[in-house]
């Protein structure tokens, strides 16, 4: 066993002792995502003495991550998350064996990755990955400890198909596309990531050491605003078919019907032919050609303070049904938000109010920054 003085405060826990510590040192834990949850899970795993830790993430550090992804500093912006997180974990515990997987988890690589680990922690932020992790863990015969955060709350649970209910039993079908805003659209309280991340580590320790009762068949839901925690029990879905192979999870999670998108440099003159979306490049070309495009920003004021486009009229989405009279219903109109979800809702609201030529900016201002004007800050 490693230096017992380092782990003395957990060694003296009732029922833990040297046996629990040895189990941690032998364990191999794979963490999916080095974001808000991963940044709280990874250092705790290392500090407690988990022997082998893998981290899967293909994303880069952005400035908007720093308020909750506390493994990173401003100097890390632009660097691969998994690599920087692994470096910090090694600093916390040089005895830990840390493996970096910079590829995005997919149906093509998941089973091979999972084969080297005893347990997986799912800290991902999207439904296709959550179902992929759950199915891959089921096929690999290992448990999955999963968590999710949203605004002021979060959930945590354990999925283990060979021992009890799984994530698919709790959520047989994913939500309709666009009905659950992403973190970029909805926001998240940083402390919620810490609470849920701590729960994920506790569940991992219980599964590895055999101490306590894992959240198998139970979900813990935390509400930061109410300061409350509640538990939901669930069982196996009797109608669920066993998982026999991985599938196309983007398709399973119901991608929205392909929008009518235009790459033309002019707004379509016919209301019947107005596309559902316009690319950032097409909007930029139209503006450069001097076309009079009514640009409606449905983000919140704090977002507009970070990044905005010249000439945009700021009307938060929740105020649009009351303030639409500030706009010209006959003008060619483009609705924009951060990533394209709220703008699509704003487009539909305006269409219901008889706006003749209204479309949504595909990918929002974030896509504009990446593809048209890098001087517009990303968040």
Give CA–CA dist 181/150, Å, rounded: 9
Query: 134 pLDDT band (50/70/90 cuts)?
Result: very high
Task: Render pLDDT for 44-53 as a digit per residue (tens, 0 to 9).
Answer: 999 999 999 9
Q: Which of 39, 183, 193, 253 is catalytic?
A: 183
Mean pLDDT, range 95-112, rounded to an integer: 95
DSSP code, position 338: S
Contacts of 158 (CB under 8 A, 6+ apart): 143, 144, 145, 146, 203, 207, 214, 215, 216, 218
Return the sign of the alpha-carbon dihedral for residues 340, 345, 349, 354. positive
Please name the residue that has the structure tokens 């949504």: 360
Give the global pTM.
0.74
Q: What is the pLDDT of the chain when averaged over all its residues?
A: 91
DSSP H stretches of helix in the chain: 8-11, 17-26, 38-48, 81-92, 110-114, 127-140, 167-170, 183-186, 190-209, 249-252, 280-288, 301-306, 320-323, 341-352, 364-371
pLDDT at 4: 84
**DSSP assignment of 182-204, as one string?**
-HHHH-B-HHHHHHHHHHHHHHH
Are 314 and 339 spatial neighbours (Cβ–Cβ below 8 Å)? no
- The answer to whether 253 is a known catalytic residue is no
Residue 157 CA to chain centroid, in angstroms? 16
Task: Render pLDDT for 198-250 as a digit per residue (tens, 0 to 9).
Answer: 999 999 999 999 999 999 999 999 999 999 999 999 999 888 888 999 999 98
Which residue segments constitute the domains of the chain, with CATH numbers given?
8-252 (3.40.50.720), 261-371 (3.40.250.10)
Give CA–CA dist 15/230, Å, rounded: 26
Give CA–CA dist 308/299, Å, rounded: 10
3 state SS of 283: helix
Residue 190's CB is within 10 A of a number of other CB atoms, namely: 15
Q: Which of 39, 193, 253, 337 is catalytic?
A: 337
Report which of residues 137 and 239 the model is more confident about. Answer: 137
Q: What angle do CA 170, 168, 39 make, to 5 degrees?
A: 85
pLDDT at 182: 73
Give CA–CA dist 104/217, Å, rounded: 29
Tokens of 355: 């706006």
Residue 55 CA to chain centroid, in angstroms? 15
- The answer to whether 183 is a known catalytic residue is yes
Task: Render pLDDT for 160-181 as a digit per residue (tens, 0 to 9).
Answer: 999 999 999 999 988 877 677 7
Using alpha carbons, list the distances in angstroms from residue 134 to 32, 160, 170, 198, 272: 12, 8, 11, 20, 43
pLDDT at 1: 65
């Amino acid at each position: 066993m490693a230096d017992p003085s380092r782990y003395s405060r957990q060694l003296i826990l009732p029922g833990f002792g040297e046996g629990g510590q040895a189990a941690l040192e032998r364990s191999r834990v794979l963490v999916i995502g080095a974001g808000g949850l991963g940044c709280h899970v990874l250092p705790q795993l290392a500090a407690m003495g988990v022997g082998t830790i893998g981290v899967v993430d293909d994303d880069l550090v952005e400035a908007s991550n720093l308020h909750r992804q506390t493994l990173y500093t401003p100097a890390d912006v632009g660097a691969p998350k998994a690599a920087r997180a692994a470096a910090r974990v090694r600093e916390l515990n040089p005895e830990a064996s840390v493996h970096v997987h910079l590829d995005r988890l997919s149906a093509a690589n998941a089973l091979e990755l999972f084969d080297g680990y005893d347990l997986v922690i799912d800290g991902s932020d999207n439904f296709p990955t959550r179902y992929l992790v759950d199915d891959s863990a089921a096929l690999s015969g290992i448990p999955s400890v999963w968590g999710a955060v949203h605004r002021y709350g979060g959930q945590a649970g354990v999925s283990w198909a060979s021992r009890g209910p799984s994530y698919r039993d709790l959520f047989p079908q994913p939500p309709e596309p666009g009905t659950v805003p992403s973190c970029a659209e909805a926001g998240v309280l940083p402390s919620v990531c810490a609470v849920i991340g701590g729960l994920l580590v506790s569940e991992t320790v219980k599964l590895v050491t055999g101490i306590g009762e894992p959240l198998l068949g139970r979900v813990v839901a935390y509400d930061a605003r109410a300061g409350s925690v509640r538990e939901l029990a669930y069982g196996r879905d009797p109608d669920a078919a066993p998982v026999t192979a991985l599938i196309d999870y983007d398709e399973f999670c119901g991608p929205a019907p392909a929008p009518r998108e235009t790459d033309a440099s002019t707004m379509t003159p016919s209301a019947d032919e107005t596309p559902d979306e316009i690319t950032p490049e097409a909007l930029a070309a139209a503006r450069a050609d001097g076309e009079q495009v009514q640009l409606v920003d449905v983000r919140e004021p704090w977002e507009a303070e970070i990044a905005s486009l010249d000439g945009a009229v700021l009307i938060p989405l929740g105020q649009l049904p009351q303030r639409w009279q500030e706009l010209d219903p006959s003008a060619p109109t483009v609705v924009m938000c951060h990533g394209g979800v709220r703008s699509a809702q704003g487009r539909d609201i305006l269409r219901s109010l008889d706006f003749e030529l209204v479309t949504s900016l595909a990918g929002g201002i974030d896509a504009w920054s990446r593809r048209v004007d890098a001087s517009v800050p990303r968040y």
